[in-house]
Structure 1
Amino acid sequence: MRVTELARAGGVTAETVRHYTREGLLRPQRDPRNGYQLYDEEALGRLRLIDCLRSLGVGLPDIKKILTWADQGSPPLSDTYAPLVEQRPYIRSRIHELQAIARWLESIDHDNASEAPSLKQLIESLGSAQPAIVTDGPCGCHQ
């Protein structure tokens, strides 16, 4: 894949791919015929992991360490993953929020959408102190 193809597949901009490449987070091969940077499926996986970690607030230096440990195949002890461990409560919260939104979307996507929780109910559940959960609507959706 070229830069733009990788960017499209990863849901980021081509400039983001170029930036991560300059930072050493992505390592393309060069096409000997034209010098283009080419990325493989592993690069797509790395890009998606980088993007996910960035969305959780993990900085590029920590991401670089994590990818280095992955490349070495034998990361040091558990404190190695401290940047991720610190994000665990936030990650779980985001999972619950996204699941609630997905369940709500599924509930409005059925024939009896008029009985589905309202958007206002979804917003209220996302704002509550409890993890955001839109419970089983008329569609019987579970997680």
Structure 2
Amino acid sequence: MRVSDLARQAATTTETVRHYTDIGLLKPQRDPGNGYRHYNQSDLRLLRFAIKARSLGFTLTDIQSLATASEEGETPCGQVRSLIEQRLEDVEARIRELQALSQRMRSAMSDWQDKPDCHLDDGRVCGLIDAVVGEDELETSR
């Protein structure tokens, strides 16, 4: 099948198929007559696997490593479990960071509710932000 056929069957874009081919994840056969790439059912299975793995937070490097292990007859499921545990820890840490950021933003919005817009003549950019993060706090964080 051609790039467009593979993309359609995997519910993805032709750009994704081409990118995965360019990085060596997909390895289509070339038609010697016209040079067109021809993909087979194995390519479709691997592409669908890659799309599912990406939806779980796996990187393309992870996916290539898992595919290589499978091609070599290994069962990469243990590696999948380890990787997803690590990714889950990273995601949960990022969620905590984003929740803290959200709280700081809500607090700032609340503090700014009754403050007027004003032009500062002392070189500062925005008094609203300066009121939230004072210069003394910035000095200690550097």
* TM-score exceeds 0.5: yes
SS of alignment partner, residue 4 of structure 2: helix
SS of alignment partner, residue 27 of structure 2: coil
Residue equivalent to 2:20: 20
The number of equivalent residue pairs is: 88
Q: Specify whether residues 30 and 75 from structure 1 end up closer, same or farther in structure 2 by C-alpha distance, changes over 3 A only.
A: same
Aligned mates of 2:77, 2:7 — CA distance in 1: 33
Q: Specify whether residues 74 and 11 from structure 1 end up closer, same or farther in structure 2 by C-alpha distance, changes over 3 A only.
A: same
- Contact kept, 8 Å, 2:2 with 2:37, in 1: the verdict is yes
Q: Specify whether residues 42 and 77 from structure 1 end up closer, same or farther in structure 2 by C-alpha distance, changes over 3 A only.
A: closer
- Residue by residue over 1:89-116, the C-alpha shift from the partner in whole angstroms, topping out at 9 and shown as x without a partner, is xxxxxxxxxxxxxxxxxxxxxxxxxxxx
Aligned mates of 1:42, 1:77 — CA distance in 2: 19
Residue equivalent to 1:109: none
Gaps of 5+ in 1: 89-143
Q: Specify whether residues 84 and 16 from structure 1 end up closer, same or farther in structure 2 by C-alpha distance, changes over 3 A only.
A: same
What is the 5 A alignment of 1:56-71?
56-71=56-71
SS of alignment partner, residue 42 of structure 2: helix
Q: Which residue identity does 2:50 align to in structure 1?
A: I
How far does residue 87 in structure 1 lie from its aligned partner after superposition?
6.5
Residue equivalent to 2:47: 47
- Residue by residue over 1:61-81, the C-alpha shift from the partner in whole angstroms, topping out at 9 and shown as x without a partner, is 111100000110124793x33
Aligned mates of 1:8, 1:15 — CA distance in 2: 12
What is the 5 A alignment of 1:1-143?
1-75=1-75, 78=78, 80-81=79-80, 82-84=82-84
Gaps of 5+ in 2: 89-142
Say which structure, 1 or 2, has more relative contact order (CA 8 Å, 6+ apart).
1
Aligned mates of 2:16, 2:10 — CA distance in 1: 10
TM-score, with length taken from structure 2 = 0.56
User: Identity over the aligned pairs, expressed in percent?
Assistant: 45
Q: Specify whether residues 76 and 17 from structure 1 end up closer, same or farther in structure 2 by C-alpha distance, changes over 3 A only.
A: closer
TM-score, with length taken from structure 1 = 0.56
What RMSD over aligned residues (CA atoms) do the two structures have, in Å?
A: 2.2
Aligned mates of 1:2, 1:47 — CA distance in 2: 14
Structure with bigger helix share is 2
